Amino acid sequence: MSLDSVWAVPEPLSACEVRFDEQAVTTVRRHGNPEVPLLIFSHGNGLAVDLYCPFWSLLAGDFDLFVYDLRYHG
């Protein structure tokens, strides 16, 4: 992928909201292939998981992917 590339996060197969507590909610989105092993993706810094789409989307054909943002991120 060149620096001039433009990419978009694909539409998820499904999505659901998960409550952390009374005030904080995150959305877990399902991408990939539901017929194969599951991988769960989040992130370890202040960026949203969507910014990692060029990486996790490469696994979508081989895995059932669940992606979500950590609390107060994304």
How many Cα atoms sit within 13 Å of 60 on the Cβ side? Answer: 17
**Residue 72 located in a structural domain:** no
pLDDT in tens, 35-47: 999 999 887 676 7
Instruction: List the structure tokens of 13.
Output: 């197969």
pLDDT in tens, 2-53: 556 778 899 999 999 999 888 888 899 999 999 999 999 887 676 788 888 9
**Residue 63 located in a structural domain:** yes
**Residue 34 located in a structural domain:** yes
* Residue 27 lies in domain: 14-67
**Residue 33 located in a structural domain:** yes
Cβ neighbours of residue 59 closer than 8 Å, sequence gap 6 or more: 32, 39, 65
Beta bridge partners of 51: none
- Number of domains the chain contains: 1
The model's pTM is: 0.81
**Residue 48 located in a structural domain:** yes
